[in-house]
A and B are shown apart, each in its own frame.
Chain A
Amino acid sequence: MGHMQTLSRRAFVFGSAAVAGGIAFGAYGSAEAAVPSADGNPLAAGLGANSVTFNPWVEISPDKITLIAQHADIGQGVGSVQPIMIAEEMDLDPGQFEIRFAGPSPAYFNTGFADEFAPFVAADQSPAAEEARAATLEWLRKSGLQMTGGSSTIPDTYQKLRVAGAVARETLKAAAAKRSGVAVADLRTQSGHVVLPDGTRIAYGALAADAAKIPPVLDAQPRDPSKWRMLGKPMMRLDVREKVMGELKFGIDIKMDGMLYASVKLNPNKGQPLKSYDAGKARAMPGVKKILEIKNGVAVIATNSWYAMKAVDAIACEWAPSAYPSEQADHWKVLESSFKPEFLGKEWRKTGDIESALKTGKLVEAEYRAPYVAHQPLEPLNGVGLVTDKGMEIWVGHQSPRFVQWVASTAIGLKPEQVTFHNQWSGGSFGHRLEYENVRVLAEIANQMKGTPIKLVFSREEDFLQDIPRQIAIARHRGSIDKGKIVAADLQLASTTPLKGLLERSGTPSKDPDGQLAAGLWNVYYDIPNFRGTSYEAQGLSPSTTWRSVGASTSGFFTESFIDELIHAAGLDPLKARIAMCTVPHYRKVLETVAEMSDWNGPLGNGRGRGVAFVESFGTPAAEVVEVTATDRGIRVDKVWVAVDVGKVVDPVNFENQVQGGVIWGLGHAINCELTYAKGAVQQTNYNHHEAMRIYQCPVIEVRGLENDPKVRGVGEPPVPPAAPALANAIFAATGKRIREMPFNKFIDFV
C-alpha cells in the first residue's frame, strides 16, 4: 500500500500521532482494497433503460429524476439540503425530483473529515496544515470511509454536490445541443428543462438516453453564490410537510408482508455474554411465536412489538459479569488514578515553559468532572432484517453504511457485500446511530428466522441499558496569573476514549491516541504564553462513544470554565478579556458579535448573572452568552445569545433551528443528565431519570451566523460545547458559586 507508506512518512513529519484518520483507518483501508474504488459510480449498476447517471449523486430516467442524499438524515436536514445543493445547479425545483439515501459505497467517502483528522488546529491555515489535510483527504479517498458525523454534512458536500449538479446540467445541455444542432452557449436550463433559443423546452427525462451516450462534461463549474435561487436564502426544508402531516415513514414505521416483531433483553454488563435463561413464563404469553438465544441475550418473536416486549421482560436471565467496575464510584477512582505516564494519550500542545511559568504569580488550580451521558434519540433503536440463502437485507437508520455491512455480515458469517443496506429516516441520533447494537442483534435474530422479515424494536429501557455513553472525564487544570494577565495554563484530562471505542467496534481498531480528547483541550486560541494540553486515556472503564460534539462536549466545559476562573482571578471582565486574548481575528469577531448581541456590559447584580464561553469544535467557532436569575425556586435560564461562524450559511432557517437545538442539548444535559453504573448496569432507564430540557426550562435563544471563516463549516455540533460552561459561568456570576461538575443539579436547584 504505497499511499499508506507515504502518509506514514508525512505523519512522522507532522508529529507522532499525525493524521489520526490515516493511521486510525489503516486496517480498514487494507481490508477493503478489493472492493470498488471511490472512482466508481455505484448508481451505474442499477440503471434502467434510457437512463443516465453522471456521478454517484444524480440519476435520470425518462420518468423521474433521483438525487442522492449522501449522508444519513438524523434530523439535521441532510434529506433536504443535500438534494437541494444538487438541484440548485441543475435548475430543478422542489417536487421535480425524488430523494434516495446513498447505499454503501466508497464513492461516498467523507471528504469532510480531512480537517478534523489532520493534526492541526482549525484556525491554522498554514501551508503545512493544508498539506496535511490534503494528505488526509487522499487517505480518506483510498479508505472509502463513508460516515455521517463530525458536523460534516455541509463541509463534505458543499463543493462536490454542487459540482455533481453542474456536471449533470452541462451534460444535459450538451445532449440537447447535439440533438437540436444549437450551440451549447445558446442553451439555458430552467425548471427541469433545457430551453432552446426559440423557447422550445426539452425535459431532462427526455434527454436521458442521449446524455448516456456522450461523455459527461466533467469540467463544469458550480455557480457563484450570488446566482443562487434557493441556497443561502430562507427555504422550506423538503421533509417538513411530510413530518408535520405524519406521513413520513421512519425506520420504526416499516411494515412488510409476513413480518414478525422482535424485542430483546441483552446483558446490561455491556459487551458481555448471556450465561443462561429461563423462558418458561414467556413462552406461554400472548402473541409469542418463538424465543431465541443470541450471543449476549434473548429475543422474543411475536405478532406485535408490545407482545414481544412484555414476553422478553418475563424471561429470567443470568448474565456474565461486567469487564468494567460494577459500581460507579470505582469508575471515578479509575479516572482519578489515570493521570500517570503509563496512561498518557498525548501531550497535544506545549508552548513556552509551563513548569516555571506555573511558579510565577498566583497559582489557580481546579478539578472538573463530566459523567457518562446517554444519547437516547426519541426513536428507539430498531431495524427490519431479512436473511435468505443469498444474504441479508437490512432496513435501518444508520450513519455508517459500510460498517453496517461489516457488522451484520460478521455476526452471521456472511461477506459484507452479501448485506444489502437500506438507510432510513431517523428520529434523531446524537451519535447513537453510529453504534451497532441493533444491527448486530438484528442480524443474529433474522438469521435464526430465515425467510421471515423481522422488525426489531428496543424498548426504551433496553435502549438506555445498551446505550454506549458519552465519555466520562476528569480534568485537573492549573494556571497562573501575573500582573493581571494569564501567563500559564496547564490543561490535563483523564477520560475514556470515544472515537477509539467506536473505531474498534467498527472493525478498524487504532492504537493511536484518541484525537477527540484533544478537541476543546488544545484548540484554545487565547494569547497565553505558556500552555500545555495533555490527555490521559483511562483503561478498563465503560465503553464510550461519540455523543453530539464528542470530545469538546466535556473538555469545552473544562477549558472554558477554567479560563473563566483564571479571568476572574486576574480581576478581568470575562467577555472583554476573552476578546482581548483571542489570537484569531475572525474568532475574535465571533466574541465581539455575541458581546454586541447581548449588549454585554459587566455584572448585572440583583441575583442575575451572565456567563460566556467560546469553543471551536469541528472547525466552527461558537460563542455563547447565557443569562440566568437566581430565584427562590432555583436558577432560571432566561436568555442565550449565540454567534457562530460557518463561512457560509447554506440553509438559514435550518441553521437557526440546529443552533438553537444544539444549545438546548448542551444546557439540558449539563443541568440534569448522567448515567451511573450499579451492578454493572446503568441505573437510568427512561426519560424520568435522564430528562434533559423540556419546554418550560427553554430560554429565548438568539442566533447569528457569521460568514468570515475561509472554509465552509458545519453546525450540528459546535453550538453544544459552549453551552455548559457559559451556564456554569453565569451561575457563578449570579451566585458566586462555582460548579465544576456536570450535571449541575447535583449542586444547585433549577426552576
Chain B
Amino acid sequence: MIELTVNGIKRQVDVVAEMPLLWVLRDELGITSAKYGCGVAQCGACTVQIDGMAVRSCQAHIGEVAGKSVVTLEGLEKKEQHPVLQAWIEHQVPQCGYCQTGQIMQAISLLDLISQPTDEEINQVMSGNLCRCGTYPRIRAAIHAAAAKKMAEK
C-alpha cells in the first residue's frame, strides 16, 4: 500500500511503485481531469501539482509521490472564483478541451512564479503544453486576463 494525499484527502493505493501518478489518479482513484496524451512529457495534458509544484503526472512514479500532497484541477481552492479558471471561461479558450486542464494547471504555476508575464515568458513556460486544436491565441489572452484579475484581488 502506498499512501498519499490527493486534493486534501488521504488515499491508499495498492499498485507497483513504478506506476505513474497519472494512472493512479485516473484508473485507481477515478480523478480524470489529468489527461493521458503522450506518456513521455511531450504534451502537458497530465499536469498536476505535487507539493505545490506543477509536474507532469505521467513522469512521477507513485513510489516517489508517497507521503506527498497532490492537487489536481478538481481540488483547486475556491475553484469557482479562481482567477485563472474564470479567465479561461470568459475567453472561451477550449475547443475540444482535452488539453485545457493541463494548460490551466501550468498557467496557475506560471502566475505563481511571474505575476505579470510577458508574451515571451508565457511562451517559455507554456510551450510544453500542446494544444492540437490551436487555442494558443486564447490561452495567451486568458493568462494576461488572469494576471490582471489576480492583481486586482490584491
Contact = CB atoms under 8 A, between A and B. Distances in A.
Do A and B truly interact?
yes
Interface of A: 74-77, 236-237, 239-241, 243-246, 248-250, 252-253, 255, 261, 286-287, 303-307, 309, 376-380, 425-428, 430, 457, 459-461, 653-654, 657-658, 660-665, 668, 686-688, 691-696, 698, 700-701
Contact of A693 (B27, B40, B136): B136
A694 B37 CA distance: 15
Nearest to A74: B96
B96 A240 contact: no
A239 B42 contact: no
Contacts of A692: 130, 132
B33 A246 contact: yes
Given A246-B101, A428-B98, 7 more contacts: A75-B96, A237-B92, A244-B89, A253-B26, A661-B133, A663-B134, A698-B136
Between B22, B96, B101, the greatest number of chain A beta carbons within 10 A of the residue's beta carbon is seen for B96
Mostly, the B contact residues are loop
A692 B132 CA distance: 8
A750 to B, nearest CB: 14
A668 B30 CA distance: 34
A246 B74 contact: yes
Given A245-B85, A460-B37, A698 B137 contact: yes
Contact of A245 (B35, B73, B95): B73
B19 to A, nearest CB: 6
Contacts of A248: 97
Nearest to A242: B97
B19 A376 contact: no
B130 A426 contact: no
A255 B30 contact: yes
Contact of A696 (B124, B137, B138): B124
B19 A306 contact: yes
For this complex, into which size category does the number of interface residues on chain B fall? 35 or more
A378 B32 contact: no
Contact of B92 (A236, A306, A668): A236
A491 B76 CA distance: 57
B129 interface: yes
B137 to A, nearest CB: 5
Contacts of B27: 261, 303-306
Given A74-B96, A695-B123, A427 B35 contact: yes
B39 A661 contact: no
Nearest to A248: B97
A268 to B, nearest CB: 18
B116 interface: no
Interface of B: 15-16, 19-20, 22-23, 26-28, 30, 32-33, 35-40, 42-43, 45, 72-74, 79, 85, 88-89, 92-101, 104, 122-124, 126-127, 129-140
A701 B137 CA distance: 8
Contacts of A657: 92, 95, 135, 138
12 contacts: A75-B94, A77-B95, A236-B89, A240-B92, A244-B94, A255-B30, A305-B36, A459-B39, A661-B95, A668-B134, A694-B130, A694-B136
Contacts, number: 173
Q: Can you list the 5 inter-chain pairs with the closest CB atoms, starting with the nearest? A: A75-B96, A427-B98, A664-B134, A246-B33, A243-B97
Given A255-B30, A460-B38, A304 B98 contact: no
Contacts of B131: 378, 695
Contacts of A287: 15-16
Given A244-B88, A306-B23, A380-B36, A695 B136 contact: yes
B7 to A, nearest CB: 11
A378 B137 contact: no
B137 A653 contact: no
Contact of B73 (A74, A236, A246): A246
Contact of A250 (B98, B124, B139, B140): B98
Contacts of A240: 89, 92-94, 97
A660 B134 contact: yes
Between B123, B127, B129, B130, the greatest number of chain A beta carbons within 10 A of the residue's beta carbon is seen for B130
Contacts of B37: 378-380, 460
A693 B88 contact: no
A305 to B, nearest CB: 5
A241 B96 contact: no
B39 A695 contact: no
B42 A686 contact: yes
A569 to B, nearest CB: 34
